[in-house]
Chain A
């Protein structure tokens, strides 16, 4: 895969005009995500009403892959149930680590533009960080990281 294509098709646009960037008024959950390797450092805020993720926003400093992944994540998760959101987290992670079945990949819809990240092993963590952080927010954990047990490369399945 030529990453230029990936950058040109999706990453540059979201990098320049990230969706749902900034603070979220009335946020109910918030988590911080850190990738110590490259210094990506983001915050994800969500507003959960009942079982529904009403809104998601993010902010922070990161590379373009991380920012585009976060930007698209906010759109993909909005309006979903907490369970659906968690299943997107698992699906996205499986896709970028090359472990997703075709069926799983199909469920990710437009997020499949990130499938090529699996060919850039040093950048998988950049793409996954927003999703880890969302997962932490959904669980009301304060923070997420891409290291240790949370290392996408270190985990089975």
Chain B
């Protein structure tokens, strides 16, 4: 008994009614950091949750909760049906061919670890090569390093240009007879670069190599179609998608998932257990040991309804306007340099302010109510590539406004003047 998706909330051609959208997000008005209106520009780290998603979560806990796939009683059957319905929403959201290709995890990190372990430890041998890119988040580096350590496989890295674009010729040249896997981010969390993953996947497939795409920063901001991309695995998180923390998704092509052993053992992932021999369940249950984040998955389904009610294309178009406006406006801040100037970018602006350490920028901006992320953004290789210890990063969502961009610019201008 889900609320129907508010599909026609906004006329498709009309500009986003951002004030109306903002009214759906209680935190945007409930919170006044240091007495100032909250200007929340850390959406790449985590997005805020709108009322319909909060309400869905509450309704589940107050009217529908029981463990799933277990009970024969009505309540458990209801919870199971709602959980399975949420997974089908995810399937439709990314246009997966088959509902068995959607695995519920605890987040993008968990999704990638699942593939690195279940696929990597099965199919990688000493001397085999895994291609990553310079732009990866640590979550798409460290799991592969751990598997490489265990199997003797090697990590190869696609370099990026000064603009923060991957060098596709260098990528092509990395392929050889030992290349077994490619794991690449769809959108760089540190710079905002949108990588041309469809072409990169086609290249890998010409070499017979499967590809995992880290979609944590892409799924919230653009229409993702895993069949059009052709990717073998796609990972993303609920909490960057106006959903809750603790839930994420791994999409995997069914024929690949079926060749993979389980990653974790436990309940709900078996067909039969004796002390002599356990046989495993089919996909995706094989990869969902234990009680999943039922409430969070159902809330994620509601978040997808909410986003689709606005329309991913319209969200992408509006965020592009914010990005262009922000990029232009920030150029006026004395001493400010934008790191990451790719032609194709998501609404992420990473900045350094001459001689001012990003943490000082972050602390002072916070006291103007402006929440931005400062640091290495769990992407130290990106920082090393650009020879900087850290950046200050503003990342936008569809509920941000042009006035909030102005507030960011005003705060940064004041900080730049203070230090000059």
Contact = CB atoms under 8 A, between A and B. Distances in A.
B65 interface: no
B367 A63 contact: no
Interface in A1-33: 2-4, 7-8, 12, 15
Interface string B340-368: 00000000000000001111100110010
Contacts of A64: 356-357, 360, 419
Q: Which of A63, A120, A123, A126 has the most CB of B within 10 A?
A: A63
Given A4-B367, A120-B363, A123-B363, A61 B419 contact: no
Interface in B235-289: none
Contacts of B358: 38, 63
Given A62-B357, A63-B357, A65-B360, A39 B390 contact: yes
Contacts of B419: 12, 15, 64
A39 B389 contact: yes
A37 B390 CA distance: 10
B299 to A, nearest CB: 29
A61 B352 CA distance: 15
B389 A12 contact: no
Contacts of A7: 360, 364, 418
Nearest to A8: B418
B121 interface: no
Nearest to B357: A63
Contacts of A63: 357-360
Contacts of B374: 38
A37 B356 CA distance: 17
A122 B383 CA distance: 21
Contacts of A4: 364, 367, 418
B375 A37 contact: yes
Interface of A (DSSP majority class): helix
Nearest to B419: A12
A4 B361 CA distance: 11
A68 to B, nearest CB: 10
A2 B414 CA distance: 15
Interface string A58-89: 00011111000000000000000000000000
Interface string B362-399: 01100100000011100000010000011000000000
B322 to A, nearest CB: 27
B356 to A, nearest CB: 7
Contacts of A39: 375-376, 383, 389-390
Contacts of B359: 38, 63, 65, 122-123, 126
A7 B357 CA distance: 13
A120 B366 CA distance: 11
A38 B388 CA distance: 11
Contacts of B389: 38-39, 41, 61
Interface in A101-145: 120, 122-123, 126
| Residue among B359, B363, B375 with most chain A CB within 10 A | B359
B33 to A, nearest CB: 12
Contacts of B363: 3, 65, 120, 122-123
Contacts of A126: 359
Given A4-B418, A64-B357, A38 B364 contact: no
Contacts of A41: 389
Nearest to B383: A39
Contacts of A2: 34, 367
B418 A3 contact: no
A65 B360 CA distance: 8
A65 B383 CA distance: 21
A84 B265 CA distance: 57
A38 B367 contact: no
B367 A3 contact: yes
A48 to B, nearest CB: 31
A25 to B, nearest CB: 27
B320 to A, nearest CB: 31
Given A3-B363, A64-B356, A126-B359, A38 B418 contact: no
A120 B356 CA distance: 18
A92 B419 CA distance: 25
Contacts of A123: 359, 363
Given A3-B363, A7-B364, A41-B389, 8 more contacts: A3-B367, A7-B418, A38-B359, A39-B375, A39-B389, A63-B358, A65-B360, A126-B359
Interface of B: 34, 356-360, 363-364, 367, 374-376, 383, 389-390, 418-419
Smallest CB-CB A-B distances: 8 pairs: A39-B389, A63-B357, A63-B359, A64-B360, A38-B359, A63-B360, A39-B390, A3-B363
9 contacts: A2-B34, A2-B367, A4-B364, A8-B418, A12-B418, A38-B374, A39-B375, A39-B376, A63-B360
